[in-house]
Structure 1
Amino acid sequence: MGQKIRPALALWGTRMGFMSYGWDAGVLGGVLETAPFQEAMQHPDTTTLSMIVAAFLLASWLGCCIVASPWSDRVGRRVWVLLGAFIQIVGTVISTASYSSGQMIAGRVIIGIGNGIVVASGPVYSAEITPVTSMRGPLVGILMGFACTGTALAYWVDFGFTHASGQVVWRVPVAMQIIWSLLTMALTWPNSDSPRWYYLRNRDDEGLSVLQQLYPDQETALKVQAEILKELREEKGEKLQLSNLIIDKTPTQAMRRIRDGVVLVGVAYLMGINMIFYYMTTIFQVYIGLPSTTSSCLSGAATTLLAIGVFVGSFFCERSGRRKWLLWGSASQSVFMITFTGLLAAGQKATSSAAAAMLFGWILVFSPTWAPLPYIYVSESMPLRHRHTGVGLSMSSQWLMAFLTVYAGPIAVANVGWKTWIWFAVFNVIGFPYVYFFIRETRGRSLENMNDLFGDEHLADGNSSSDDTSDGVKEIKATVNEA
């Protein structure tokens, strides 16, 4: 395939990959309690039902770990997106044809592996093919917006099919995931890989060819190439070592950046988002005590609100920066979650509407802040030589924490009731000091200038960096002219 890149087409490919993620995350939430699903799964107990839902998350963690492995950079960002989408299709076919809990769990595991690969590769691919720095954050952030849109659509489709009868009530919604994976493959296939990946693999001519398509002005393309090559020189020979996990004194602080990303994403997914959205209908119906039809409608409305909020937060994240959005979100979410927990503790029917309102308030704040911002931060803060590994490990943190909450959450609620929500309230509070002390502001910097933000004094010397880049542009331009 020729090195042709169509940024708009490639970006839409990753968006459809995240639509698939959202669909898989939400589609079972609206059908778990339906009679046809219960009959097909042979009336599973709470533990088995939790495993049916959570197997997807644990397998997604495995998919992310595959992408984060030392040899993953040899394959390329684009190929991983295609491979992940294909694996999802295989798993969806198995899930749709399931007539037992074991078969459904197997299908969900295969879907999860493919999903983990797509979710770990998509943000990297999107960030590295976005030519305008000020648009990188919004374009990566809206990936989570499409994931939330997928979840919302799945809930509304589930609601529509509750008026049907027979096995189509749940089989058709589950099968519809194939649509998003096929779109992911169709939109991604015609494009080349990221220019940064070509340079990482020492395929400089192909990298420059793609850069010249992203930046029609040759001077700009050459300048970006010089910055990429400079970044690779700075990172040359720097290996990831566990000894640098706590205190990283290496020039580019690669291990510290990966650690911060892993913890940031992990905290985000211990705030309760997966517990809320995987069991949204159950929370409204069983825990809060609302009628089934009202619970189903509220679930669709809540997921729609989440999707809208993520898009809003993604587009406005460049105005206030990453840190302010995260700090404001953590503080506000803590108030809503603590109040929600207190209302559940009251255990009175009169407080059910207030509890639902607090849950909506939490979603309203989480959606533009902690939903998209961790994705944006990890996709842009990682060093080039370890970007795929760093983002993969960060996303694996997401899936591991999500599995913990989705699998253990219902079991905990069945045993200790409202006290389970104290766990989530604690992590909403923890988010504030963690961001304040550990997360640096990455807004407005090119990917190649992140080393200056995290590196030591000689890397942070602005004049030296500028001179090096200028000399690099002249040298590369002279070479191109001679050729």
Structure 2
Amino acid sequence: MSIKMRPTLVLWGVRMGFMSYGWDAGVLGGVLQTKAFQSAMKAPGTTTTAMIVASFLLASWLGCCIAASPWSDRIGRRVWVMLGALIQVFGTIIATASYSTGQLIAGRVLIGVGNGLVVATGPVYVAETTGAVMQRGPLVGILMGFACVGTACAYWIDFGFTYATGQVVWRLPVAIQIVWSMLTIALCYPNADSPRWYFLQGRPDEGRLVLQQIYADPTLAEKVASEIETELRQEVGETLRFSDFFIDRSETKAASRIRDGVILVGIAYLMGINMIFYYMTTIFQVYIKLPAVTASVCSGAATTLLAIGAFVGSIYCERGGRRKWLLWGSALQSVFIIAFVALLAVGTKPASSAAAAMLFGWILVFSPTWAPQPYIYISETMPLRHRHTGVGLSMSAQWLMAFLTVYAGPIGFESVGWKIWIWFAVFNVIGFPYVYFFLHESRGRSLEHMNELYNEKLAVDSGSFSPSVEGSVKGGDVIEQKV
């Protein structure tokens, strides 16, 4: 393949991959209670339904683990994204044609594995092909905005099909996912891989050629190439040891950075978003006791609000920095989720209506904060030699925690009722001290200067920074800012 890089196509290709992720996250939530689905799946019980929904999440965890494996970095960001999308196509065909729960679960497992590959590699591909530092955060964060758009579209399509009859009510919405996967492949195929990947694989000439296509100024392209080579020299000989995940004595703190990312994403997905995502209509209809049509409308409105908020948080993420968005998000979400739990405990009709309002408030806060910001943080703070491992393991934490909540959540609700939501409230509260005490602020730094954020000695040795200044690279130029 000739070395051609069109960053705009890369962006839209990965965005379509995240649309597919969001579509699958929402599409079943709106059809689980339909007569057509219940008839085709022979009225599955709560545990079986939970497994149908959650099998996608566990398989996505497996896909992320594959992307995080040591040998996976030899393949490249671009190929993993396209391969994941292709696997999703086959899984969607099987799921759409299902007439048993076993067949449907098998299809969703394939969809999940493909999805894990896309979401673990896509943010890295985007981050490593973005030229200006101040655009990197918004462009990566917007990926979650597209995932939320996919979920919102799926819920509105589900709502529209509630007025149809027959198996098309649920089969066509499930089948539409193929569109997003095919667009992902078509948009990513004409492009080269990321320049950082070429340097990592010992192919600097190809990496420089890609950088020259990303940066209009050849001088800036060469400067970035030099910084990438410097970063790789800093990371030579640094291997991941299990003990480093507890006490990291390495210069670049690679293991502790991966650990911080895994915990950050794990907390985000123990806050309840997947329980809400996947069972939105069921929550409004069964738990809050709204009429079926009202529940569908509320589901569509809530997921639309989630999408809008994710875009807002991504676009303005450079204002205030990653930590402030996460801290404010955790604080305000805690207020809304605690009020939601208290109102569910009351159990009256007025209290249930107020609980629905609290849920909307929670979504309003979560969508611009804990929805996109963890993606931004993990995609930019991982060291180059271990970036695929760090992002892959972080995303695997997302899917493992999501599986836990989606599978155990409805079962727990049957057992202990509204008290299951206390679990999610606890993690909304935990998010604040974790971010405050453990996370560094990564805003305004190029990928090649993240090592210096964790070790000031590297900054002094490189001559680019001093302990009292924070560097920001925009278009390859170092801009010094007082901390």
TM-score, normalised via structure 2 length: 0.96
Instruction: State the one-letter code of the partner of 2:425.
Output: A
1:115 aligns with 2:115: yes
Aligned to 1:237: 237
Amino acid at match of 1:152: A
Return the alpha-carbon distance in structure 1 between the equivalents of residues 85 and 23 of structure 2.
13
- Deviation for aligned residue 1:463: 6.2
Count of paired positions? 466
* Equivalent residues in 2 for 1:65-144, closer than 5 Å: 65-144=65-144
Shift of 1:464: 2.3
CA-to-partner distance for each residue in 1:384-439, whole Å, 9 max, x for gaps? 00000100000000000000000000000001000000000000000000000001
Matched residue, 2:371:
371
1:42 Cα deviation from its structure 2 partner = 1.1
Matches within 5 A, 1:239-388: 239-388=239-388
SS of the residue 1:368 aligns to: coil
For 1:169 and 1:454, how far apart are their aligned partners in 2? 53
Query: Is it true that 1:220 corresponds to 2:220 in the alignment?
Result: yes
* Equivalent residue number for residue 458 of structure 2: 459
CA distance in 2, matches of 1:150, 1:464: 45
Alpha-carbon separation, structure 2, partners of 1:463 and 1:379: 23
**Retained in 2: the 8 A contact 1:337–1:362?**
yes
CA distance in 2, matches of 1:436, 1:443: 15
- Letter of the 1:464 counterpart: G
Q: Which stretch shifts more, 76-85 or 348-357?
A: 348-357
* Amino acid corresponding to residue 274 of structure 1 in structure 2: N
Q: Partners in 1 of 2:112 and 2:457 — Cα distance?
A: 43
Deviation of 1:209 (Å): 0.2
Moved more, 214-223 or 326-335: 214-223
Cα distance, 1:441 vs. partner?
Answer: 0.2
DSSP 3-state at the match of 2:28: coil
- Measured against aligned partners, the alpha-carbon deviations of 1:345-368 in whole angstroms (never above 9, x if no partner) come to 001112111100000000000000
Per-residue deviation at 1:465? 3.7
| Distance of 2:104 and 2:462 partners within structure 1 | 59
Matched residue, 2:448: 448
Task: Report the residue type matching 2:449 in the other structure.
Answer: N
Rounded Cα–Cα distance in structure 2 between residues aligned with 1:154 and 1:276:
14
Q: Which residue identity is paired with 1:460?
A: A
Q: Please give the alpha-carbon distance, in whole angstroms, between the structure 2 residues aligned to 1:139 and 1:431.
A: 24
Q: Residue type of the partner of 1:461?
A: V
Q: 1:296 to 1:225 in 2, by over 3 A?
A: same
The answer to whether residue 51 in structure 2 is matched with residue 57 in structure 1 is no
Letter in 2 for 1:363: I
CA shift for structure 1 position 460: 2.9
Aligned to 1:47: 47
Aligned equivalent of 1:9: 9
State how far apart, in whole Å, the 1-side matches of 2:309 and 2:424 are.
21
Name the amino acid aligned to 1:227: E
**In 2: Cα distance, 1:166 partner to 1:218 partner:** 60
Give the partner amino acid of 2:158: D
What is the CA RMSD across the aligned residues, in angstroms?
Answer: 0.9
Task: Tell me, yes or no, if the aligned pair for 1:459 and 1:465 is still in contact at 8 Å.
Answer: no
Say if 1:12 and 1:187, in contact at 8 Å, map to a contact too: yes
Q: Which residue of 2 aligns with 1:389?
A: 389
Structure 2: gaps of 5 or more residues:
467-483
Work out the CA distance in 2 between the residues paired with 1:350 and 1:125. Answer: 48
Give structure 1 stretches of 5+ with no counterpart: 468-483
Q: Compute the displacement of 1:249 (Å).
A: 1.2
User: Partners in 2 of 1:239 and 1:75 — Cα distance?
Assistant: 20
Distance (Å, rounded) in 2 between the aligned partners of 1:458 and 1:202: 26
CA deviation vs aligned residue, 1:256-310 (integer Å, no higher than 9, x gap): 0000000000000000000011000010011111100000000000000000000
SS in 2 for 1:99: coil
For residues 78-99 of structure 1, what are the alpha-carbon distances to aligned partners after superposition, in whole Å with 9 as ceiling and x for unaligned? 0000000000000000000000
Equivalent residue, structure 1, for 2:478: none
SS in 2 for 1:319: coil
User: 1:221 corresponds to which letter in structure 2?
Assistant: A
Structure 1 contact 20–180 (Cα < 8 Å) conserved: yes
Counterparts of residues 164-175 of structure 1 (less than 5 Å): 164-175=164-175
Q: How far apart are 1:454 and its partner, in Å?
A: 1.1
Is the CA contact 2:459–2:465 (under 8 Å) kept in the aligned structure 1?
A: no
Alpha-carbon shift at residue 462 of structure 1 (Å):
7.0
Alignment of 1:466-481 (within 5 A): none
Of all paired residues, the percent bearing the same amino acid is 73
Partner of 2:480: none
Please, what TM-score do these two structures have when normalized by structure 1? 0.96
